[in-house]
Amino acid sequence: MDRPGIIRKSAAELRVPPNLADYAATRAAFSWQAVRAELAGLPGGGLNIAFEAVERHARGPLRDKTAFRFLGAQAKRDIGYGELSRLTNRFANVLKSLGIGKGERLFLLSGRVPELYVTVLGSFKNGTVVSPLFSAFGPEPIATRIKLGEGSVLVTTELLYERKVEKIRAELPTLRHVLLVGEDGQATNIPGTLDFGTLMAQASDVFDIVPTDSEDLSLLHFTSGTTGTPKGAMHVHGAVATHYATGRYALDLHAEDIFWCTADPGWVTGTSYGIIAPLLHGVTSIVDEAEFDAERWYRILDEEKVSVWYTAPTAIRMLMKAGAEIARKRSYPNLRFVASVGEPLNPEAVWWGKEVLGLPIHDNWWQTETGGIMIANTPAFDIKPGSMGRPLPGIEAAIVKKDAEGKVSPVDTADTEGELALKAGWPSMLRGYLHNEERYKKCFAGDWYLTGDLARRDADGWFWFVGRTDDVIKSAGHLIGPFEVESALMEHPAVAEAGVIGKPDAVVGEVVKAFVSLKQGFEAGEALRLELLGHARKRLGAAVAPKEIAFLPSLPRTRSGKIMRRLLKARELGLPEGDTSTLEAG
Ligand code: ATP
Ligand code: MG
């Protein structure tokens, strides 16, 4: 379907005054010092994420306001700011009583239950560094990460322990304590472990936060493993300034919002925006303990009166695949802003939002390494579907090129493709990759942090994702970004998702090959294959369009929902699959 290249916004569409109204003026007036001054800071000096996120509110008028609403399989549970303060104090006391000190590492392996949230925030209070893992990880990836991170404590559930951890426990000598959350609140009694609930019940709910400063480590987050072995990105308490500023500008959080971030805390989005940012703004967050289900998700949006929704392209594609009829069974009068992160958001998906939910989807861009949103589409500004928006206040982004001597410098001409780089120094920038100093050093060139993504900036200052430097296809002298090809394929009514790779070719270097999965009601076959080839050629031209298309029931993706093109390629070429620790079970 042909659609205009821009979605115009008007002031009349805004239901609340936008936090970012004058882009140029806000950027010009912005300073990280001013953001820092808006934070409370620890009473005795220093900075701690949990104080900003929880204590500040628990001591003020938000004491009784719901911080989290957990939607369990059977029941709902609301936890207010005051209660969250007491619970996290208890957990900090538990750590202290176990002799876990500042800077030690705690690993978390659990579904999205209240104990997970209490553990993260309670650990911050104790100065303990948190490393959340996906609960769906198998024993291998769990062991690798705990070993690499020299974890002292693991918090998990009885079930996950029995299934995954018991057999690897002997390989983890640094692990001094394992705390288990029992099923249905029952106490656990497994040798070599402690019962979370019992320890919590015995602990005091008064705790003095261990003094941390802005450079003390808070989180160790492993990257998604889309392009290779996951890297452990180290973050500090000072990152909270980015969480605060981006919660304001990128997610447009207002005190009265009901916010739902669908990401699991095993992925950085689920901690920065599933836990920290909404608390900083004193809003109520919805946490769905269940896995994706289209009907359930629409029900949550409707019944929980979600006003700001932060999700990911993979989820949107699944909703699109399920069909618009399910969405239309309900209405979403409270929803006012929808944002997405994690992968390029195909224009088709942006429009789908507008047509089905009544709101376009706002793409934003960041990485585990950046700790928070860097480039974003925000409520007050026009959307160019397919673009990830503009750098937020406090963020300087550029397209950079390396010259013959290896010197990196920004390219000023619009619409030039090159590596996306950020001026180093924003508060949530990673402080290192755990035990991989060399890889970390490679991220920087002079003042610039190099993202490993290719992009271009248009004449109006909007950034467009082209592909990961590793995924870009070189065919007959052209550089082809997979995203462009995938987006064109997604415009076809039969296509639910597409992944594009370069396949080595003696003549042209690489030929473009696409893998697609189909929407319900469409049949894979030769006729459709030819039709898709023709459709792509018409949209993209013969030089860029795929030469080959294969059908798959679904594409391989990471647990954070990203299409793993490197795996499509390895499988196509019969090469080793490499690190598949984050591959979602198909
Ligand atoms: P690894 O570094 O282990 O290969 P990863 O890069 O997928 O994994 P994350 O930090 O979770 O791990 O993802 C960040 C990357 O996701 C970005 O560098 C970019 O390639 C992609 N990404 C995130 N948001 C967007 C977006 N809005 N548009 C395009 N790409 C995005
Ligand atoms: Mg990465």
Q: Give the 3-state secondary structure of 357-400.
A: HCCCEEEEECCHHHCCCCEECCCCCCECCCEEEEECCCCCEEEE
Ligand 1 nearest atom to the CA of residue 369, by list position: 10
Helix (H) or strand (E) holding 352: helix 347-352
Q: Closest residue (by CA) to atom 14 of ligand 1?
A: 367
Amino acid at 572: E
Ligand 1 contact, 224 CB (< 6 A): yes
Q: Which residues contact 383 (CB under 8 A, 6 or more apart)?
A: 6, 7, 9, 350, 360, 362, 377, 389
CA atoms of 375 and 202, how far apart (whole Å): 45
Ligand 1 contact, 227 CB (< 6 A): yes
For residue 483, report the distance from its CA to the centre of ligand 1, in Å: 13
* pLDDT of the residue at 19: 98
For residue 440, report the distance from its CA to the centre of ligand 2, in Å: 12
CA atoms of 219 and 434, how far apart (whole Å): 11
* pLDDT of the residue at 585: 79
Q: Scanning the structure block, which residue is given the tokens 């001591």?
A: 59
| pTM, rounded to two decimals | 0.95
The residue to mutate among 134, 144, 222, 226, having the most atoms of ligand 1 within 8 angstroms of its beta carbon, is 226
Supply φ then ψ for residue 260, to 5 degrees. Answer: -130, 115
**Tokens standing for residue 26:** 């806000």
* pLDDT of the residue at 473: 94
- Inter-residue contact 144 to 234 (CB < 8 Å): no
Helix (H) or strand (E) holding 169: none
* pLDDT of the residue at 4: 86
| Residue-level length of the chain | 586
For residue 343, report the distance from its CA to the centre of ligand 1, in Å: 6
Q: Scanning the structure block, which residue is given the tokens 């993202």?
A: 451
- Inter-residue contact 155 to 196 (CB < 8 Å): yes
**Tokens standing for residue 574:** 């019969």
Q: Where are the beta strands (DSSP E) in 1-87?
A: 66-71, 76-80
Ligand 1 contact, 367 CB (< 6 A): yes
Q: Closest residue (by CA) to atom 18 of ligand 1?
A: 367
Ligand 1 contact, 484 CB (< 6 A): no
β-pairing, 337-340 with 308-311?
A: parallel
* pLDDT of the residue at 586: 64
* pLDDT of the residue at 229: 86
- Inter-residue contact 431 to 236 (CB < 8 Å): yes
Q: Which residues contact 3 (CB under 8 A, 6 or more apart)?
A: 347, 351, 385
- Inter-residue contact 390 to 360 (CB < 8 Å): no
Q: How many helices (H) and strands (E) does the chain have?
A: 20, 28
Ligand 1 contact, 134 CB (< 6 A): no
Rounded mean pLDDT for each run of 10 residues along the chain, 586 residues in total: 86 95 98 98 97 97 98 94 98 98 97 97 98 94 95 98 97 97 91 97 98 98 90 98 98 98 96 98 98 97 98 94 94 98 95 96 98 98 98 98 91 95 98 97 96 97 94 89 94 96 93 95 96 96 94 94 95 95 85
Q: Measured at the alpha carbon of residue 363, what is the angle toward residues 314 and 420, in degrees to the nearest 5?
A: 105
The residue to mutate among 367, 483, 486, having the most atoms of ligand 1 within 8 angstroms of its beta carbon, is 367
